[in-house]
Amino acid sequence: MKTQVLFPFLLSLLCGAISQPIRYSIPEELAKGSRVGNLARDLGLNVQELPARKLRVSAEDYFNVSVESGDLLVNGRIDRENICGSKPECALEFESFTENPMNIFHVIVAIQDINDNAPHFLAKDIELEISESALPGVKFSLDSAQDADVESNSLKKYTINPNPHFSLSTKESPDGSKYPELQLETPLDREHQSSHRLTLTAVDGGTPPLSSTSQIWIKVTDANDNAPVFSQDTYKVSLRENAPLGTFVLQVVATDQDDGVNSEITYAFLNAPASTTPQFSLNPNTGDITTNGTLDFEKRNQYVLGVEAKDGGVHTAHCNVQIEIMDENDNAPEVTFMSFSNQIPEDSDLGTVIALIKVQDKDSGQNGLVACHIQEEVPFRLQSTSKNYYKLLIDRALNREETSEYNVTITATDQGKPPLSSRKRVTVHIADVNDNAPVFHQASYVVHVPENNPPGASIAQVSASDPDLGPNGQVVYSIIGSDLEPRMLSSYVSVNPDSGAVFAQRAFDHEQLRSFELTLRARDQGSPALSANVSLRVLVGDRNDNAPRVLYPALGPDGSALFDTVPRAAEPGYLVTKVVAVDADSGHNAWLSYHVLQASDPGLFSLGLRTGEVRTARALGDKDAARQRLLVAVRDGGQPALSATATLLLVFADSLQEALPDLSDHPVSPDPQEELQFYLVVALALISVLFLLAVILAIALRLRHSTSGAWGCLQSGLSSKSHPVVPSNYNEGTLPYTYNLCVASHSTTTGFNFLNVTPEVAPPQDLLCDDPSVVVCGNNEDLKISYDPSFAPQVSFSKSKFHLLHLYLQALCPLSHLPSYFLG
């Protein structure tokens, strides 16, 4: 069926909702699926955007919207009589909603009546008693028929079958309803005909017209010539709703001029709709009308009652009672959330709509005017849109980390006296957004780790917190930089990505690595991820794990101590030698002190506690032994302290020749290992001697005619090439000594010359001359001996070692020129 769009356009929007509703008009009882109108077009919406806008209506029992075309379709039975009753105008008012953005539109669909209801009588038979004395022109009101249709389709007229005694006319009551009135046209004669039967027909104005009938049975009685008369044809009264049961409404009064039984009047309601009479009761004797049920203005605001007064005979009279129901403020406002977003991102813009609220009050007038407000102090506000609709908007910036949810109470209050109000509470949850980067609990970290730590142990703990929720607040730790080489980083440290614990992957050595710095990152799991960096400085603490190492004096190849010579005329304070030691540790652990453990003569020498310098404490006496032995201990400052020892052999002599007898008396160690070494040295010496003899003979043959004096110097063969190694950063004390030994073959006095050699001086080369006259060169008054480990015959100053020296000198120089004490 074709529908008519009354206002097919949208007017300007007011706060997201149109100010004028869209109107349609359709007949009732349309089939399901019938088209009412194109709602999408009338709202100015594109059909393609309907799925995203989610166009829908609130009156889903009657209508729905086609997603494909945007048409408003009938979704259920539309019965005008059931919806509006007897109201002359009937319309369905509802709202349509769209989202993205959220908007509301008002729609009114007028329901046109069709002639789908025939008139009907409540009683199939109507019985009347008419006195035969009734005069022509007497009228009798009959029960009216009911027609649910309105306007042109409502009941229009009544008819009866032709009868010479009666005629029928159609009357209209004050409420607009029509009722039949039977009029006596000619006198009745009970004796001629005691009863009459008429057929009453009610016809409506539809096309085609519908009708129904009822039978009128008329009994002719004896005469009663005066009918009752009401004081008013229409009684009007106002009554407040919710009046208590039994409340007096009014009294109808009728009088009859007859006497006796014919003047006794009884009252009764005319046959009225069932929805009317149960609300009131009528006293048949007094005519008092009282309430018999609950009156509700919101359901019905007016009642029209027909009252009949009947005398003791057959005469009746009729009147109407109009009761106006006055409204009272007996309905609190109702708050309904038409749309509500439970989860609101914390970065939502100001003005974002999170709920659409409808407020309605069933009362009318001032009692139905409603105002809304938010009870709590929350970052939201209400904005009135149109006709009892409100939007709940974001009014201030949200921060989930401060408040994760809000309880919002919407209070609606009407303007009645006293005012009534209602509340509805909702909880708005704030959804987390990754808007907070992790924050370390310290600006930087410094940890002290003692060296020799166990690998795999935790050395530090970094911690960062992120107030965000879920993955946005889940922190993962990593190492992103270091002053270590990248290839070495993973072998030194690692970090637990979940806990932030930093682990050592190896044992640290303070002597190799004093400190290093790491850059750690804390990164959350949000999208996009946020991160923060922090520096961690690891200081490797020193432990006393290195004992002092004696650089000078060094031991001989066989483990025996070397000797130093002291002039016999040395004054007190004379610097004899210096014990040089180093400690790889640092700080207090490398603070060395020197102590005398054993001394042949404790009072003869003094030892510097910090310098290690050995000086004479007094002059040498006649009774003092020429050979002195000092056992020196070098201790560091660690706890517990570590130490090393050095043995000093000191000989008081003015020359090497003078010192050698004392040295030959040095007892030979009975160690079997030393004896084995001795035999090995002897065998090697014999082989060397044979080789040297062959070389000497060859050189002698070539140089036989040479007139120049030849010198035989044994250089650096007897001097130490393995000097004590002093680190470049060692600045304390005096550097150790190295010496050269030269022998003159033509001199009657044999001596040893000890020369100081600095690291800058190139190592000496061995010189060998075949001239039998060899001169001893010496310019150092301090007589000391060092050795060269690279030289095959190991030389010491034990008695057996001097025998080996004697064999070398025999091979190099004429045996007649050697001192006798070399022969042992």
**DSSP class per residue in 56-83:** EES-TTTEEE-TTT-EEEE-S---HHHH
Partners of 414 in the β-ladder: 370
In the numeric block, which tokens belong to residue 604? 């003869």
Higher pLDDT: 223 or 682? It is 682
Report the alpha-carbon distance of residue 767 to residue 786 in Å, rounded.
Answer: 18
Rounded mean pLDDT, 354-362: 90
Q: How far apart are CA 810 and CA 818, in angstroms?
A: 8
* pLDDT tens by residue, 728-771: 333 333 333 333 333 333 333 333 333 333 333 333 333 233 33
Closest residue by Cα to residue 1 from 40, 21, 22, 27:
27
The confidence score (pLDDT) of residue 642 equals: 92
Options 3.40.630.30, 2.60.40.60, 3.40.50.2300, 2.120.10.30; CATH of 120-326: 2.60.40.60
User: Which residue ranges does the chain devote to CATH 2.60.40.60?
Assistant: 4-112, 120-326, 334-431, 439-541, 549-652
* Residue 331: per-residue pLDDT: 86
Of the candidate ranges 27-31, 307-311, 591-595, 678-682, the one whose mean pLDDT is the lowest: 678-682
Cβ pair 256, 249 in contact under 8 A: no
The answer to whether the beta carbons of residues 15 and 102 sit under 8 Å apart is no
Is-contact 386 17, C-beta < 8 A?
A: yes
pLDDT classification of 812: cutoffs 50, 70, 90: very low
The residue type found at 117 is: N
pLDDT at 725: 35
Mean pLDDT, rounded, for 704-717: 43
Q: How far apart are CA 40 and CA 8, in angstroms?
A: 11
Cα 316 to chain centroid, rounded: 87
Q: The domain 4-112 belongs to what CATH superfamily?
A: Cadherins (2.60.40.60)
Burial label for 269, CB within 10 Å (0-12, 13-18, 19+), is middle
470-490 pLDDT, tens digit each: 899 999 999 999 998 888 888
DSSP state of 656: H
Q: What is the rounded distance in angstroms from the CA atom of residue 659 to the CA atom of residue 446?
A: 61
Distance CA 498, CA 464 (A): 11
For the chain, how long is the longest CA-to-CA vector?
208
Which of the two residues, 815 and 142, has the higher pLDDT score?
142
Under 8 Å between Cβ of 55 and 48: no
Percent of the residues in the chain that have a pLDDT greater than 70, as a whole number: 79
Q: Which amino acid is at 768?
A: L
| CA distances, 663 to each of 678, 717, 744, 785 (Å) | 18, 20, 21, 12
**Mean of pLDDT values over 416-430:** 91
| Amino acid 559: pLDDT | 66
Tokens of 273: 């709709």
User: pLDDT value at position 214?
Assistant: 92
Give residue-wise pLDDT tens across range 33-69: 999 999 888 888 888 888 888 888 988 889 999 888 9
Read off the pLDDT of each residue in 646-672 and give the average, rounded to a whole number. 67
Query: Would you state the pLDDT for residue 313?
Result: 76
Q: What is the mean pLDDT of residues 224-235?
A: 86
pLDDT tens column, 479-531: 999 998 888 888 899 999 999 999 999 999 998 889 999 999 999 998 899 99
713 has pLDDT over 80: no
User: Strands 195-204, 343-345: parallel, antiparallel or unpaired by DSSP?
Assistant: unpaired
Q: What is the mean pLDDT of the chain?
A: 79
Q: Tell whether the model's pLDDT for residue 673 goes beyond 80.
A: no
Task: Give the confidence band of 660 by pLDDT, cuts at 50, 70, 90.
Answer: low
Q: How confident is residue 415, by pLDDT bands cut at 50, 70 and 90?
A: confident
Domain 439-541, architecture per CATH: Sandwich (2.60)
In DSSP terms, 502 is beta-bridged to 460, 495
**Residues 583, 592: contact at Cβ < 8 Å?**
yes
As a whole number of angstroms, the distance between CA 60 and CA 44 comes to: 22
Query: What mean pLDDT is predicted for residues 573-593?
Result: 91
- Virtual torsion, Cα 696, 701, 707, 710, nearest 10 deg: -10
Q: What's the mean pLDDT in 221-232?
A: 81
**Res 799 pLDDT > 50:** no
What class has domain 549-652?
A: mainly beta
pLDDT at 790: 34
Of 428, 467, 269, give the one whose Cα is nearest residue 340.
428
Q: What is the pLDDT of residue 493?
A: 94
**Which one is the CATH code of 334-431: 3.40.50.2300, 2.60.40.60, 2.30.290.10, 3.30.390.50?**
2.60.40.60
| Mean pLDDT along residues 246-267 | 87
**Around Cβ 507, how many Cβ atoms within 10 Å?**
12
